[in-house]
Amino acid sequence: MTSERKSIFITGAASGMGRETARLFAGKGWFVGAYDVNEGGLKDLQTELGAANCLIRRLDVTNRADFREALDSFAPAAGGRLDILFNNAGIGRGGPFDQQPWEDIVAVVQVNLMGVLIGIYEAVPLLKATPNSLCFTTSSSSATFGMAGIAVYSATKHAVKGLTEALSVEFKAFGVRVADVLPGLIDTPILPPGAAEAAPKEGMWRAMPPTAVAEVVWQAYQSDRLHWYVPEEIAELDKAATLAPEATRDQMAQSPMFLARDQAG
């Protein structure tokens, strides 16, 4: 590898949005670092992309030492540069807050928030050393307005969105760009079975392929835009939640799912 070849470090790369992003960037000649707890998925990905184009490693994003070791092995393979850090790893565990197991709550916070904090904190030196680098993170449409039924997940994604905004200001001092993607319903393994098929065929809650997010990561590298929405209609919810939070709350409270729960006591 030479320092002229651009590189991307992707967490949650074994499937879904992370895997499609790895495929897209490898196809454009980038060196890909692919990380996940799913080692079988990573091996399949490396076979597909080729060992010369893809470095894989099991990574627990909640373990700071593990993250540091992953970056330490990635840096020389990537020629000492990190053009994009894509903090994509996440888990989705939901249910009514008062009924959700405490262990699930902690796990969601650890992976979706602490994993992002650790990744950025440990990657800052490499990002600083790479001209025009991008720190990019997967947030969620649930970061536009708190989503009932996935309250803790939504809270972590709100935190990611706020972190992105704050660091986009701080990191300007050393030329590192910061942005995020707020996906709606993406057809990946994180969804419950049948959810994509049952989704509306149009509008902001239509099911989108994971390739749509991969394309956004590519576009974000060419841009200075802060928030990216997949699909773009999610931006409308973001605006509504800011301008009329009470109306947004009341509209969501009238959805069939939550009316059924209230009637059931």
The phi and psi torsions of 77 (rounded to 5 degrees) equal -65, -30
Say whether 35 is catalytic: no
User: For 38, which DSSP code?
Assistant: -
Residue whose C-alpha is closest to residue 88's, from 27, 147, 15, 163: 15
Of 35, 153, 221, 229, the active-site residue reads 153
The answer to whether the CB of 103 falls within 8 A of the CB of 30 is no
Listed in sequence order, the residues at least 6 apart from 168 whose beta carbon sits closer than 8 Å to its beta carbon are 177, 178, 179, 226
Phi, psi of 190 (to 5 degrees): -70, -20
Reported in sequence order, the residue ranges of 134-185 that DSSP labels E, i.e. its strands, are: 134-138, 177-183
Rounded to the nearest 5°, which phi and psi values hold at 142? -75, 0
What sign results for the dihedral spanned by CA atoms 227, 233, 234, 236?
A: positive
- CA nearest to 31, candidates 59, 61, 56: 56
Counting Cβ atoms within 10 Å, is residue 212 exposed (0-12), middle (13-18) or buried (19+)?
middle
Rounded (5°) CA angle 257-108-263: 20
Which positions are catalytic? 153
